[in-house]
Amino acid sequence: MNFYTDNDSLSFYLHHPEMSEIATLREHDFAEAGQHPEAPANADEAIEQYDSVMRLLGEIVADVVAPNAEAVDHEGPHIENGRVVYAKGTQQNLKTMIDAGLYGMTLERKYNGLNFPRVLAVMAGETIARADVGFATIWGLQDCADTIQQFASDELKEKYLPRIYGGATCSMDLTEPDAGSDLQSVRLRATYDEAASCWRLNGVKRFITNGDADLHLVLARSEEGSTDGRGLSYFVFDRADGGLTVRRIENKMGIKGSPTAELVFTNAPAYLVGERRLGLIKYVMSLMNAARLGVGSQSIGLCEAAYREAEAYAASRQQFGHPINQFVAVQDLLRAMRARTDAARSLMYETARMVDRSATSKPASRIADILTPLVKLMASEFSNRNAYDSIQVHGGSGFMKEYACERLYRDARVLSIYEGTSQLQVVAAIKGIANGAYLKRIEEYDQQVSNMVLSDQQTAVLGILRRATESYKQLYEKATSKGTSDVLFEHASRALTEVLAYTIMGYLLLIDSTRSERYLDSADYTAREALGEAVKAIAMIG
Amino acid sequence: MKIIVLAKQVPDTRNVGSNAMKEDGTINRAALPTVFNPEDLKALEMALQVKDKIEGTTVEVITMGPPRAEEIVRDARSRGADGGFVLSDARFAGSDTLATSYALSKAIESTEGYDMVFCGRQAIDGDTAQVGPQVAEKLGIPQITYAEALEHIDETKVVVRRRLEHGVETVEAQLPVLVTVTSAAADCRYPHAHRLLRYAKTPVDVKNADDVKPDFSRLGLAGSPTKVKKVDNVVLAHKESITIEPTDENLSEMMHSLIEEHII
């Protein structure tokens, strides 16, 4: 078994036409070729490298992570002498990944990384999440390294980044008892200790995923007397330096393998990342975007797992003398699950490609910024719907603990909550709605498709997408009839966001279908969702 | 310590497609994906365990086969082997186990010495389990077959647990020694991502018959007393199919009849 090679979509996006350009960007025109024994000499070689590492990762996920998932869900982590001890399966997963050199995929080579682009990070993420979302959270937090790589001083980079490759786990310590969605209210204090030439952290953090990690990025109030986000700075804290107590770990509904901890910092020594006062407004927002894309990848892994569980069950379960996948009612469920998985995935890879291109392109960076909340919103909501439908296909059996769909249902629930609830993703999308950035992007996709040779079926899908776009404009007119500051616009914002997301996903799948026909059905389904949601919203609003 | 691992690239019998056999009943090698022979992979793991325990140990892999068998050397290196080469020459074609083991023993002698040789018990394409023991005999060193685990290793001796049909046996041998490893041994570790990328780009040495200075009369068909008289392709026509109820008794009866008819 191999979770990479058994999923054609992964190879499809790994070999996307834009990947050559992305590899070239990431490799700075292959400047390291010949200098470093692993550096590729051209784009084809780089993509071959991505493929070979994904094969390795896919094999480990299928052989080790997937078989451990059930026991990890039952056992969970516990506290021993003030430290979090992972479930045995989690420990084995981590060790296998570290021993295979897979940590630090996106780090530069000088920090022992593989220098892979973001597309590969999300691909690894979804592959792992298909097996175990809880483990995918622990794995995904290595994205903290990117914040250090991007913003910290050379001294801190050299100190911490090689340790990530060595398997040092990470956490992102933002939330406090009174500061969840509203991070401007963070109170944990950071004071400079002249004698020790470091900062000292004092206070409490709550709901911290992987809270007893080796390395922590901590958002803290460095400016005494300040009350808003501009008084917050970002710090890196090394668990080995002491000053941290794990007060408790939460008893959660799902992702039980991932420890969620309450932390007490007492004079904990820490070092400033980047500049003071930019903690929330710059660094956290940057990390947050990566984390939201990461949750997108977890969600898509879960969508895929839920679909596969349902598909396999429907093929084997006999009722009325036939396997139940021969009944239209079940086929409809499976088709919707397939379409959601395909749609969210296409949007995620498009976004990841934009993130990769952001390195040299402002427009790409702006597109990445507007697409990221859509990925987080739609993928996480879809994962919940797929998990629900997967149980539905299983019927009574799905309600029993024996089937994996029960765990998937619980694991999915947090995806539309953490790293910003679905409601906050809509808030993040509002600016792009009001300034027309999404519509402009849709026009660009439409332009791109207009230049392609389309089959009759593809042309029909394009027609539906254009109607959906027109309906969106009507919806927007209606929603803004009293101006964008009226509560009516706020009421309509979720529907506006979703219609845009469906339309964009429909266009992306239509473009994908020109490379592989197997995405055409999902393109058709998603386009109809876009139109249907728009028409429904027009009826509902006002 | 110097260790040599003998490994073979074999057809992946778990992934046999419909075009795996030619019309004349011979194997269509071009259509078969290839893999590292599974027990050879376990032999590599045992060798790497020695490397983990004894500092300064080197593990070299030797594989005999067509040039594309270099994939085996790359794979072994990505998992931790230090080097190796492919022994490849048209003059080896048609070798049976005797000629193969002779060629391999000459290849081993062409290296800079060895303390241990590890190989899988047998390859999944031939299933003879003869090559390992014959190599030991030609090298004039002791052999331990059916190894499941290393219980002890130091610079002069090894203690090995053997997995036999009705139990286990623990034996000790002085070095140098050849060890054949069974499927009961530990799985091989995964490749390491960095090594995987590094050795994909590193050329693999290829040695030909001249390089290992053999007695040419002992190579290939000339050196192979085993002659294949005829290869029959067992075709199970649909009309011969029977349906049985899946009870223990019926399955056991079916197995016996298949064995009696030499189908399995």
DSSP labels, A168-231: --EEEE--BTTBSS-GGG---EEEEETTTTEEEEEEEEEEEETTT-SEEEEEEE-STT--SGGG
Q: To the nearest whole angstrom, how far is the Cα of B199 from the nearest Cα of chain A?
A: 8
A236-to-A245, A268, B106 alpha-carbon distances in Å:
16, 11, 59
The CATH number that domain B2-218 falls under is 3.40.50.620
pLDDT > 90 in chain B, percent? 63
Chain B interface includes A243 (CB < 8 A):
no
Q: Which residues of B touch A37 (CB under 8 A)?
A: 198, 201-202
Q: Which residues of A touch B191 (CB under 8 A)?
A: 56, 100
Q: Give the mean model confidence (pLDDT) for residues B150-174.
A: 95
A292 vs A425: CA distance, rounded Å? 9
* CB neighbour burial string for B82-109, b if at least 16 within 10 angstroms, e if fewer: ebbbbbbbebbebbbbbbbbbbbbbbbe
Number of other CB atoms surrounding residue A227 within 10 Å = 11
* A498 has pLDDT over 80: yes
For residue B136, the SS3 value is: helix
Is the CB of A49 less than 8 angstroms away from the CB of B197?
A: yes
Rg of the Cα trace of chain A? 23
* B24 has pLDDT over 70: no
Structure letter (DSSP) for residue B175: S
Helix or strand run (H / E) with residue A365: helix A362-394
Give CA angle at B7 (B6, B8), nearest 5°. 135
Using alpha carbons, select from A507, A424, A505 the residue that is nearest to residue A462: A507
Reported as a single tens digit per residue, the pLDDT across A311-366 is: 999 999 999 999 999 999 999 999 999 999 999 999 999 999 999 999 899 999 99
Nearest to A38 among B190, B191, B198 (CB): B198
| Residue A321 φ/ψ region, left for φ over 0, alpha for ψ in the -120 to 50 degree band, beta for the rest | left
CB B16 within 8 A of CB B72: no
Q: Give the mean model confidence (pLDDT) for residues A436-455.
A: 97
Reported as a single tens digit per residue, the pLDDT across A35-92 is: 999 999 999 999 999 999 999 999 999 999 999 999 999 999 999 988 999 999 999 9
| Residue A410 φ/ψ region, left for φ over 0, alpha for ψ in the -120 to 50 degree band, beta for the rest | alpha
Ordered by where they begin, the domains of chain A are 8-169 (1.10.540.10), 171-277 (2.40.110.10), 422-542 (1.20.120.470)
Helices of type H across B57-115: 70-79, 97-109
Q: Dihedral, CA atoms, A86, A87, A91, A94, nearest 10 degrees?
A: -80
CB A344 within 8 A of CB A303: yes
A92 vs A115: CA distance, rounded Å? 25
For residue B153, which amino acid is it?
I
Specify the residue for token string 């992946």.
B12
* CB neighbour burial string for A459-480, b if at least 16 within 10 angstroms, e if fewer: eebbebbbbbbebbeebbebbb
Specify the residue for token string 């239209």.
A328
- Give the torsion sign (CA, B5, B9, B13, B15): positive
A374 vs A378: CA distance, rounded Å? 6
For residue A79, the SS3 value is: strand
A530 vs A373: CA distance, rounded Å? 17
CB A523 within 8 A of CB A509: yes
Mean pLDDT computed over every residue of chain B: 89
CB A419 within 8 A of CB A295: yes
Interface test with B, best of A2, A30, A35, A38 (most B CBs within 10 A): A38
Which of the residue ranges A356-365, A432-441, B28-37 would you say has the lowest mean pLDDT? B28-37
Residue A217: beta bridge partners? A172, A236
Specify the pLDDT at position B26. Answer: 61
Structure letter (DSSP) for residue A266: E
Is the CB of B190 less than 8 angstroms away from the CB of A99?
A: yes
Helix or strand run (H / E) with residue A429: helix A422-434
In this prediction the pTM is: 0.92
CB A478 within 8 A of CB A489: no
| Token digits of residue A497 | 């966001």
Interface test with B, best of A52, A55, A92 (most B CBs within 10 A): A52
For residue B148, which phi and psi values (nearest 5 degrees)? Answer: -110, -35
Helices of type H across A33-117: 43-60, 66-75, 88-99
A78 vs B210: CA distance, rounded Å? 63
* B261 has pLDDT over 80: no
Using alpha carbons, select from A300, A507, A334, A292 the residue that is nearest to residue A420: A292
* B234 has pLDDT over 70: no
Non-local (6+) Cβ contacts of B42 within 8 A are B120, B181, B182, B183, B185, B186, B187, B188
Chain B interface includes A106 (CB < 8 A):
no
ipTM of the predicted assembly exceeds 0.95: no
Chain B interface includes A34 (CB < 8 A):
no
CB B99 within 8 A of CB B92: yes
Helix or strand run (H / E) with residue B170: strand B167-174
Of residues B264 and A489, the one with the higher pLDDT is: A489
Is the CB of B200 less than 8 angstroms away from the CB of A101?
A: no
| Token digits of residue A321 | 């003398």
Where residue B200 falls among pLDDT bands split at 50, 70, 90?
A: very high
Q: Quick one: how far is CA A412 from the chain centroid?
A: 13
Reported as a single tens digit per residue, the pLDDT across A143-161 is: 899 899 999 999 999 999 9
* B227 has pLDDT over 90: no
Q: To the nearest whole angstrom, how far is the Cα of B53 from the nearest Cα of chain A?
A: 17
Map out the domains of chain B as residue ranges: 2-218
Non-local (6+) Cβ contacts of A468 within 8 A are A499, A502, A503, A506, A527, A530, A531, A534
Which of the residue ranges A393-397, A444-448, B26-30, B107-111 would you say has the lowest mean pLDDT? B26-30
| Token digits of residue A314 | 């429907």
Is the CB of A56 less than 8 angstroms away from the CB of B190?
A: yes
Q: Quick one: how far is CA A37 from the chain centroid?
A: 32
Where residue B208 falls among pLDDT bands split at 50, 70, 90?
A: very high
| Token digits of residue A294 | 């990461």
DSSP labels, A345-358: HHHHHHHHHHHHHT
- By the 10 Å C-beta count (0-12 exposed, 13-18 middle, 19+ buried), A297 is classed as buried
B85 vs B206: CA distance, rounded Å? 5
Give CA angle at A134 (A56, A52), nearest 5°. 10
CB A425 within 8 A of CB A497: yes
Is the CB of B196 less than 8 angstroms away from the CB of A56?
A: yes
B123-to-B9, B37, B180 alpha-carbon distances in Å:
9, 6, 11
Specify the residue for token string 């021969």.
A326
Q: Quick one: how far is CA A122 from the chain centroid?
A: 7
For residue A54, the SS3 value is: helix
Q: Which residues of A touch B48 (CB under 8 A)?
A: none
Q: Give the mean model confidence (pLDDT) for residues B115-142.
A: 92
| Residue A441 φ/ψ region, left for φ over 0, alpha for ψ in the -120 to 50 degree band, beta for the rest | alpha
Chain B interface includes A114 (CB < 8 A):
yes
Give CA angle at A430 (A426, A433), nearest 5°. 120
* A287 has pLDDT over 80: yes
Specify the residue for token string 């934009």.
A354
A469-to-A175, A488, A503, B150 alpha-carbon distances in Å:
38, 20, 7, 68
Q: To the nearest whole angstrom, how far is the Cα of A441 from the nearest Cα of chain B?
A: 37
B140 vs B121: CA distance, rounded Å? 19
* A230 has pLDDT over 90: yes
